[in-house]
Amino acid sequence: MHSSLNVVSEKVSQPIGLACPVDLLSYKTACNDCRVRALCLPTGLSRQGNDRFSELISQRIRINKGGGLYQASDPLEFLYAVRFGSFKTCFTNVEGQGLVTNFWMPGDIMGCDAISTNRHVCCAFALEDSEVCLIPYKRLETLAHEFPFLQQSLNRLLSSEIVRDHKRLLMMCNFSAEERLASFLLGLSKRYAERGFSAHGFVLRMSRDDIASYLGLRLETICRSIAHLRQLEIVTFGGRTVEILNMPALKALEHGYGHHCAASM
Amino acid sequence: MHSSLNVVSEKVSQPIGLACPVDLLSYKTACNDCRVRALCLPTGLSRQGNDRFSELISQRIRINKGGGLYQASDPLEFLYAVRFGSFKTCFTNVEGQGLVTNFWMPGDIMGCDAISTNRHVCCAFALEDSEVCLIPYKRLETLAHEFPFLQQSLNRLLSSEIVRDHKRLLMMCNFSAEERLASFLLGLSKRYAERGFSAHGFVLRMSRDDIASYLGLRLETICRSIAHLRQLEIVTFGGRTVEILNMPALKALEHGYGHHCAASM
DNA sequence: CGGTTAGTTGATGAATTTCAACGAACGTGG
DNA sequence: CCACGTTCGTTGAAATTCATCAACTAACCG
């Protein structure tokens, strides 16, 4: 099966699990120092809450490019906050059919889908050399009890994943290949901008195949859509280096022209 | 626009919002008496917790078939527990493109996607004469603080919605029309069985168009897939009355034959 | 009973997948 | 540092699935 071949072909540079603990010191100020703290879970917490949250993060680990962070069916022990680098998560059913559920950037919290069953349902791979903070889930629950604001943040985080998935389902149902690609690029652009990077030029960390899986298309279709965007001079692609030349045109593309199936409601 | 036409054509028998309060008495025993309590949010709570949860439910409301319960952009005031009947929720973007995000049965909790922004992002319609319990969200948060088990249940509920959406995304990406329909029917069958009804025979509460939207297909495609299942003598359809004649064959259909695109992972 | 809505079926066409060949980029070891 | 093998990306042609358009029937409701 193609997918499982690919799974094993991943260069898992660290054993899945507690790979490569980077630092075991107390991170009293860990979150205060973090470049993406404004995007992460402790955002908005009181100073005291923030310190207590930092204490939770007793471990950070590095994962090399291609390395696995956790696998489906692993027990839920931690949530993972991306500190730098990026990840993809893949959801696979018993038949081995799978898809990339998401790409994760610094400040994102991975693993929330495991709360439902206390086991991870996705597996996570680093798309580049990356570092994550380990958030022990049980202790997070306790701290959230102590700091209701943290509990609310967690609830909002979970809920926003639901909304995000709904948007993606809508995209899968109503958008053409080109519109999906436009939407994907704009989404990345926005997220890079939120993290202080250029909204117009960035480097894709994922393969065409990953993008295809994420968008519910085949890799050839991605290539052709890219070729078309290039031809329209809306975006230039140099391998994985992207430059958005005409942002308004890209946004217009994303929304299509209303010629799509609208659901009955 | 087709979709918005359909929206207004819904026979909204009650004004959106606090329509038709059914009973304002204290529901100390409301949940204990409820036929679907084993499936609902207070499941597993202590006796005291359960009573306190019941007190939260100071209102139930009835919604007639076609009636709206809440709309996108309504502020999050309540979560809604279906007591009897059924609902669909629809997610629509600014362009008016939309899709049915879910169908809801007794014991299901609707509205969790609103926690993210404090506003509903979907609208909910009754598919038949139905009744819901109103769960005031702010007070639920408070009670969840008092009963950590309730908090955990809420977290699990949110997380399981994420997982459900992932499964649906996988279906949209990798399943053919017929496999999606098979999967849909089996899902309904399972949920009816969980509620004490027959897994083999049931009545669809939603239109072909709703099914199509939910499965990311057009209604004609649903009809053709139904015709094919009928021809194979796997399922009989009398209008909305379904009888599953050959459950193993339906399950085999759901899983396809491994000839589908598997994502790179 | 008539008008509307829901569901069915056929013919056609468009978008995407599939299959295939090839070129570019990468990294590993000599 | 180059050569080789592998992976990744690109493009073309054919096949397939599903959407679209259209006509028609059945069910429903006042």
Q: What is the pLDDT of residue B19?
A: 55
Indicate if B192 and B94 belong to the same structural domain.
no
- CATH no. for residue A220? 1.10.10.10
Cβ-nearest to A263 among B100, B156, B261: B100
To the nearest whole percent, how much of chain B has pLDDT over 70?
84
Q: What is the pLDDT of residue A260?
A: 43
Q: What is the pLDDT of residue A118?
A: 97
pLDDT greater than 80 at residue A20: no
pLDDT greater than 60 at residue B1: no
Indicate if A125 and A185 belong to the same structural domain.
no
Total count of domains within chain B = 2
To the nearest whole Å, the CA of A211 is away from the closest chain B CA by 10
Q: Gap from B220 CA to C8 C1', in Å?
A: 8
**Higher local confidence (pLDDT), A261 or B142:** B142
User: Who among residues 244-263 of A has its Cβ near strand D, under 7 Å?
Assistant: 259-261
Q: What is the pLDDT of residue A211?
A: 97
Indicate if A56 and A154 belong to the same structural domain.
yes
The answer to whether some atom of strand C lies closer than 7 Å to the beta carbon of B209 is yes
Cβ-nearest to A92 among B1, B7, B265: B265
The mean pLDDT of A57-78, rounded to a whole number, is 92
| Domain span at A206 | 175-264
Q: Which residues pair with A134 in a beta bridge?
A: A80
The answer to whether some atom of strand D lies closer than 7 Å to the beta carbon of A72 is no
Report chain A residues whose CB lies below 8 A from the CB of B154. Answer: 155
Indicate if B152 and B50 belong to the same structural domain.
yes
E strands, chain B, are: 21-23, 60-63, 68-70, 78-84, 87-92, 98-104, 109-110, 122-126, 130-136, 201-203, 235-238, 241-244
To the nearest whole Å, the CA of A122 is away from the closest chain B CA by 9
Q: Which of B117, B134, B169 is the last residue of a domain?
A: B169
Of the candidates A123, A98, A104, the one whose C-alpha atom is nearest the C-alpha of residue A113 is: A123
Q: Which of B169, B192, B220 is the last residue of a domain?
A: B169
Instruction: Give the list of residues 6+ apart from residue A136 with CB closer than 8 angstroms, or none.
Output: A56, A58, A77, A78
Q: What is the model's pTM?
A: 0.87
> What are the percentages of helix, strand and coil residues in chain A, rounded to 5?
40, 20, 35
Indicate if B120 and B148 belong to the same structural domain.
yes
Q: Which of A169, A204, A223 is the last residue of a domain?
A: A169
Cβ-nearest to B265 among A90, A117, A154: A90
Indicate if B138 and B179 belong to the same structural domain.
no
pLDDT tens column, A187-234: 999 999 999 999 999 999 999 999 999 999 999 999 999 999 999 999
Indicate if A179 and A80 belong to the same structural domain.
no
Indicate if A110 and A126 belong to the same structural domain.
yes
Indicate if A110 and A124 belong to the same structural domain.
yes
Count helices and strands in chain A by DSSP H and E runs: 9, 12
Report chain B residues whose CB lies below 8 A from the CB of A166. Answer: 91, 101, 113, 121-122, 165
Q: Gap from A180 CA to C26 C1', in Å?
A: 29
